[in-house]
Amino acid sequence: MFDKRLFSLTPGIKRLVAAKVVCLWVSLLADIGFAYVLVGLLGNILGYVEPLDASKCTQLNAIGRCLNPAQTQGDSALESGKHALSAYPDNYGMFILFIAVIVVVKYVATRCSAYFGTRASESVKLALREKLYRKMLQLGPSYAQRVRTSDVVQSAGEGIEQIQSFFELFLPQLFYSILAPITLFIFVAPVNWPAALVLLVCAPLIVIIVGLVAMSASRVFKKYWGKYTDMGAAFLDDLQGLETLKTFDADGRAAEDMNRKAEEFRVMTMCVLQIQLRSLSAMDLVAYGGTAAGIGVAIWQFMIGQIWLPAALVVALLSASFFLPLRQLGSYFHVAMNGMTSTKRIFALLDAPVPHHGSIRLPSVADSVSVTFDHVGFAYGSGDDKNIALHDVDFSAQPGQLTAIVGVSGSGKSTAAGLLGGSLVGYDGSIRLGYSLLGTSADVELSDVAEQSLTGAVTVVSARSHLFAGTLRQNLVMAKPGATDNDLWVALHQARIDDFVCAQPGGLDMKIEQDAANLSGGQRQRFAIARALLRDSAIYVFDEATSSVDVESENRILATIRDLADRKTVLMITHRVANAVLADQIVVFDHGTVAQTGQHDALVVTDGVYAKLFRAQAVFEHVSHRDDARMMVGSEQMRQLAGMGSRAAASGASALSMGDTSQSASQSAAEPVSEPSSTDTAANANSADTSPDTAPGTASAVGGTPGKRPGSMSLIGRLLGEVRPLSLYMVQACLYGTIGHLSATFLPVFGVCALFAHLGHPVWGLSSRTAVICMVVCGVLRGIMRYAEQYMNHNVAFRLLALFRSKAFAALRRLAPAKLAGKGKGDLISLITTDVELLEIFFAHTISPVVIAVVTTVVFAVAAFTLDPWFALLLVVSHLIVGVLLPRRFAASVRTLGPKIRKYSAQLDDVMLDDMHGLDEIIRFGQGSKRLGNIVSRTRRLWSERSRLSRRTGRFTAIGGLLVIAATVGAVMVALRVSQGNPFSIPNAVVAVVLIASSFGPTLALSALPANLTQTFASARRLFALLDEQPAVVETGTDKPEYDGMAFEHVDFSYRPDQPIVRDLSLAVPKAGILGIQGPSGRGKSTVLKLLMRYWDPKRGQVRFSGVPLPQVDAAYRRRVQTMMSQETYLFDGSIAQNLRIADEHANDEQLREALRKASVLDLVDSLPDGLDTQVGELGGRLSEGERQRIGLARVFLRKADLVLFDEPTSRLDALNEAVILTSINQMAAERDVAIVLVSHRQSTMRVADVVVRV
């Protein structure tokens, strides 16, 4: 039924589960003892009301006395009036002592049960999370080729949480459910074995039902969890690429797709629910039918004189207990199935084959290590999906030399780097590492080298090197844990980024956001280079490490790399041939193999691939603006254009702020950002009121304006407002639930009424026959009503959960991209999955239970009042205490725990996702143990908060149980008192006692709610904070002017008040033609494009679109007119065609191919086995950097917008492809009236521009 490996995850888990089972069993013994004590306390009045044998049964004042039938019967004392009634038993003090012992035992057992259950589940969660992380470390950076990142994050988060419920609830209940009926049989059989036997026979039917349902539902639950994880994966993909989706106005289509997936998940969930409800209904029919059968047998035995009234009452009180454990087991069925399904997925990850790594360790003193590739081959995928990336690759790299690897994009350069760095495994041929030790030369096959030794010997810096959320210092010391501040500053200086760090308030402790969103592309790369330089390894591989760095900084970094090559083995992969001119050796890749090797002077005179690439530089020199180039501007932009021309001509002058101190278009949650007013007029729409500097910060990791946290009542009101459209379903749920709970409570009551009716003392005028019929009807109704209530509840809940997912994604669309940059993606995944799922507790398990508890309490009170007003008063007071006072105290004690648990859980998801994205760096810098320690520490912190919640839940659950005992004892005291004064009230009094004892089910459900609602309310606040978050700009414009150029008018902009990015910028963007913006990285070039796209509004001045203030232009219309290609090309996990059709969903294959041709990537796509249908993988991982960038360009070409913004479009392309791309841009400008803004840090890219602004 479940994987036995779960019990071997952590020592002592079996003992903890067994300990909880024992606690549950001891609690059951206390319940059995209390039932006997209860009957014992009522012994005198029960003996008085039934026919007596004076010789054997003159008094009933001890537990179990006179439970066997007498030989003769006579008239009851109540009928004859011959005996004076002494209602209170003689050994009254002994009963009180028994009750005191039962109270203590019950309280301790309940508290210990909660403790052992939580400890068992949290131990397993910690062990699983640790094992899962270790498995990812074993799989290495190539893990993404085997599993999806979203699967890992969800398995480590939500999946493991499902296992918590499995261990804490289902598993102990499973063993307890076997033990409980046997125990009850042992105690009931001496009283009346026929009734005990009937009850024992009925009980296993529930187990059979659970087993049959489990067998039939396992496949459905697998699909259910698959839909859930697919939805999470799609959300992560859409979230990470939301800027791209919004740029191409495709976020609406993505939202529709998300809604479709959410609806599919809802439908699947309803299928699972129906399976569960059918099983629960069947179990309820068996349970309550069995209870009715047991009580019916007892009534029959009583009627034929085989047992006395006290014995029949014991059977009536304990009959339901036979089935409660098994019914509870059935209610945990979905928990068990979810737990087992997620367990299978987690163990599937844990069972994934680990790439082969050798065991040979390179000598630590071997500083000079050579690299030799000998007929090396490598292919991605296998079978029909096989894509050969390398074949017959031969070259060597020697220490003390700089080896440059060049070639067109997609020629296999990065694949070779991945093999050398260990990111890719499974090559053909031989890669050998040679070294000298004590004058002796030796070499070793790369695949035979231990992973830790290899990562210590080889340091790789790629164009996409990951920076972790935290501080700069934390990122740098990963490479050299013992580094001093001086070491860090030296490395930063060598990477030409020290001036930028000096300008930051935090210096070395400056904050790095998620995905380094507060840094420009060049800044990220230079930090990654600085970190690599701190790592004293024998081999360095720089894979397009300077692709986003400006020329001046790149030249200085190249000088540092050449200095490093004097003492190390350095391989520099570059698409720019000019960077390789001074290399000691140049290796030329072409179509997956080495075409040439040698030095520049020798290679350039040979008519080979290298010469072709080098001559492409000359071709590129002739790629300039069109012969008939002209910049078309509208009348509104003519004045700004004139000013622009003068600034462009001025050497070094710039309207953008100087100094390498800029930030990207996002700020951390701790740093204020802007919120524009929705009432801005055309005159002040871009005024200082909308400045990023002055906006409030976010209230949570997700978003939300700060201020007073909404109180529970206002939060409940808002949640209820969401239910209003589905109120009819909720009313039905409340009605069905009320009938069901009334049936469950009155079933034993009608049984006792039948007993008294047989004695000639009918209660409520019910005859024995009528009472038995009512009892049977209650048993049947309970099962039917349970199904109807739960179906209606969950129908409402799941519809609302799908709605909340839709609203959450709509809010993210509204906030993107400005307000989401730097936000934790793992946190947002948690929000749309776990947080939304937690709302089910309110919609399905709170609203109707509250109504049911209120209505049933009123009905119980009325029924008790008809028996005796004192019982009604006692019932109302006790229910108010249990259902109102206790939950309020409980809620007050756990109010802060829910938000903490949700916060820590979301942070854990964030860290896990961050680590998975940066797993290559973690392994390469030997930080696996430290990062795992962080995961374990965060898990233990979460464990601590959950344990606090569990302890308080156990305490208040125990208090609730004690209050029920107290109320029942109080009812007995009232019964004894009223019976003492009026013996004819005994039947009513006994029925009232049974009614009160059985009436607390709905009310106890309320007292347990705070344990779950504390997290539900925390999740609701997080969701509403997201929904209420104001975007950086409010899109309320309605104007749709024909594009006639754009213009900046005296614009000021900054992300921080003390760091202006744009100052007094007046600039015209043409109606047609190419405008270039060129300058070093980090100078605000990208910011200008984002202001044109209205990511932000200026602090001062205006941005105009065809003479209209940008806020007044319709956003959807503007996105059809504009488009942009940002520095980081995002490809979605799908096919090449699907990624292209983001720009134009109606494009046919021929149009796609034409766009690919313009982007110089058609030949590559045609060479792939599946062509346009080729899957690009998660984050486009199956393609090289250059290939991803060119497909991103093709997407832009396909858009056919009037204004196209390019942000470093060729930064990761070789000179040949760069020339092709720039020619295509030129051609696009020549073919139609299109305005192009081209941003680059490279002077060469500006050759196609008609006018250049230098910053």
The tens digit of pLDDT for each residue in 650-698 reads: 333 334 433 333 333 333 333 333 333 333 333 333 333 333 443 333 3
Provide the edge-to-edge strand list for the sheet that holds 1122-1125: 1122-1125, 1203-1207, 1235-1240, 1073-1078, 1251-1254
Residues 404 and 277 in one domain: no
Q: Would you state the pLDDT for residue 57?
A: 38
Least confident of 85-94, 539-548, 783-792: 85-94
The CB-based long-range contact list for 643-652 (8 Å cut-off, 24+ gap) reads 643/1066, 643/1067, 643/1068, 644/1066, 644/1067, 644/1068, 644/1251, 644/1253, 645/1251, 647/1253, 648/1251, 648/1252, 648/1253, 648/1254, 652/1254
375 in the Ramachandran plot: left (φ > 0), alpha (ψ -120 to 50) or beta?
left
Question: Which pair of structure tokens corresponds to residue 1043?
Answer: 């594009």
Residues 249 and 306 in one domain: yes
List, in sequence order, every residue forming a beta bridge with 1062; answer none if it has no partner.
Answer: 656, 1053
Q: Would you state the pLDDT for residue 15?
A: 92
Q: What is the mean pLDDT of residues 447-468?
A: 87
SS3 1161: coil
Distant-in-sequence, close-in-space partners of 618: CB < 8 Å, separation ≥ 6: none
Least confident of 343-352, 866-875, 1113-1122: 343-352
SS3 484: coil
Q: Would you state the pLDDT for residue 679?
A: 32
Tally of structural domains, the chain: 3
Confirm whether 702 is domain-assigned.
no
Residue 294: which CATH number?
1.20.1560.10
596 phi, psi to nearest 5 deg: -155, 155
Least confident of 153-167, 681-695, 1059-1073: 681-695
| Whole-number average pLDDT of the chain | 82
Q: What is the mean pLDDT of residues 406-422?
A: 86
Q: Does the predicted model carry a pTM greater than 0.85?
A: no
User: Of 305 and 665, which is predicted with more confidence?
Assistant: 305
SS3 1133: coil
Residue 656: which CATH number?
3.40.50.300
Q: Would you state the pLDDT for residue 809?
A: 87
Q: Would you state the pLDDT for residue 628?
A: 56
Q: What is the mean pLDDT of residues 618-628?
A: 57
User: Of 867 and 282, which is predicted with more confidence?
Assistant: 867
Q: Is-cis flag, bond preceding 817, omega within 30?
A: yes
SS3 349: helix
pLDDT over 90 at 1204, yes or no: yes
Least confident of 151-165, 238-252, 1131-1145: 151-165
Residues 826 and 894 in one domain: yes
Confirm whether 666 is domain-assigned.
yes
Q: Would you state the pLDDT for residue 1214?
A: 66
Q: Would you state the pLDDT for residue 652?
A: 34
Distant-in-sequence, close-in-space partners of 193: CB < 8 Å, separation ≥ 6: none
* The three-state (H, E, C) secondary structure of 379-413, written as one string: EECCHHHCEEEEEEEEEEECCCCEEEEEECCCCCH
pLDDT over 90 at 426, yes or no: no
CA–CA separation, 180 and 25 (whole Å): 7
pLDDT over 90 at 513, yes or no: no
Confirm whether 446 is domain-assigned.
no
Q: Would you state the pLDDT for residue 316?
A: 87
pLDDT over 70 at 197, yes or no: yes
User: Of 1221 and 1012, which is predicted with more confidence?
Assistant: 1012
Confirm whether 1118 is domain-assigned.
yes
- Of 1011, 1028, 1045, the residue that ends a domain is 1028
Q: Do 972 and 38 touch, CB atoms closer than 8 A? A: yes
Q: Would you state the pLDDT for residue 805?
A: 86
Please classify residue 215 by burial: count the beta carbons closer than 10 Å to its beta carbon, then call 0-12 exposed, 13-18 middle and 19+ buried.
exposed
Question: Which pair of structure tokens corresponds to residue 553?
Answer: 């900084």
Residue type for 852, please? I
Residues 1072 and 1120 in one domain: yes
pLDDT band at residue 213, thresholds of 50, 70 and 90?
A: low
Q: What residues make up the domain containing 799?
A: 4-351+712-1028
Q: What is the mean pLDDT of residues 1074-1084?
A: 81
Confirm whether 380 is domain-assigned.
no
Q: Would you state the pLDDT for residue 1201?
A: 92
- Of 590, 617, 644, the residue that ends a domain is 617
Q: Would you state the pLDDT for residue 56?
A: 33
Q: pLDDT per residue over 363-396, tens digit each?
A: 875 568 999 999 999 988 776 667 788 999 999 9
H or E stretch including 433? Answer: strand 428-437
Q: Would you state the pLDDT for residue 909?
A: 84
Q: What is the mean pLDDT of residues 185-194?
A: 90
Q: pLDDT per residue over 730-777, tens digit each?
A: 999 999 999 999 999 999 999 999 988 988 889 999 999 999 999 999
Distant-in-sequence, close-in-space partners of 875: CB < 8 Å, separation ≥ 6: 857, 860, 861, 864, 967, 971, 995, 996, 999
Q: Would you state the pLDDT for residue 655?
A: 41
CA–CA separation, 1003 and 1001 (whole Å): 6
Beta-sheet strands, E only, within 979-1119: 1046-1056, 1059-1069, 1073-1078, 1100-1105, 1108-1109
CA 519 to chain centre: 26
CA–CA separation, 135 and 47 (whole Å): 70
Q: Would you state the pLDDT for residue 1142?
A: 93
SS3 1055: strand
Enter the DSSP assignment of 660: S
Q: Would you state the pLDDT for residue 631?
A: 53
User: Of 1112 and 828, which is predicted with more confidence?
Assistant: 1112
CA–CA separation, 1052 and 686 (whole Å): 10
Q: How many CA atoms lie within 13 A of 713 on its CB side?
A: 1
Residues 596 and 651 in one domain: no
Angstrom distances, CA of residue 145 to CA of 381, 900, 925, 926:
9, 35, 21, 21
Question: Which pair of structure tokens corresponds to residue 307?
Answer: 């047992």
Least confident of 319-333, 368-382, 796-810: 319-333
Residues 113 and 85 in one domain: yes
Q: What is the mean pLDDT of residues 87-98?
A: 83
CA–CA separation, 225 and 265 (whole Å): 9
| Of 563, 573, 557, 369, the residue nearest 456 (C-alpha) | 369
Residues 585 and 650 in one domain: no
Residues 1054 and 941 in one domain: no
Distant-in-sequence, close-in-space partners of 323: CB < 8 Å, separation ≥ 6: 202, 203, 206, 286, 287, 288, 290, 291
List, in sequence order, every residue forming a beta bridge with 912; answer none if it has no partner.
Answer: none
pLDDT over 90 at 859, yes or no: yes
- Of 567, 590, 617, the residue that ends a domain is 617
Share of the chain above pLDDT 90, in %: 32
pLDDT band at residue 1212, thresholds of 50, 70 and 90?
A: low
Confirm whether 377 is domain-assigned.
no
pLDDT over 70 at 1117, yes or no: yes
| Of 956, 999, 571, 996, the residue nearest 743 (C-alpha) | 999
Confirm whether 566 is domain-assigned.
yes
CA–CA separation, 70 and 945 (whole Å): 59
Confirm whether 1168 is domain-assigned.
yes
Please classify residue 171 by burial: count the beta carbons closer than 10 Å to its beta carbon, then call 0-12 exposed, 13-18 middle and 19+ buried.
buried
User: Of 769 and 5, which is predicted with more confidence?
Assistant: 769
Select, from the ranges 183-197, 226-240, 377-391, the one with the highest average predicted confidence (pLDDT). Answer: 183-197
pLDDT over 90 at 266, yes or no: no
Residues 215 and 331 in one domain: yes
Residues 648 and 775 in one domain: no
Residues 28 and 95 in one domain: yes
The owner of tokens 């030989």 is 71
Residues 752 and 681 in one domain: no
CA–CA separation, 186 and 207 (whole Å): 20
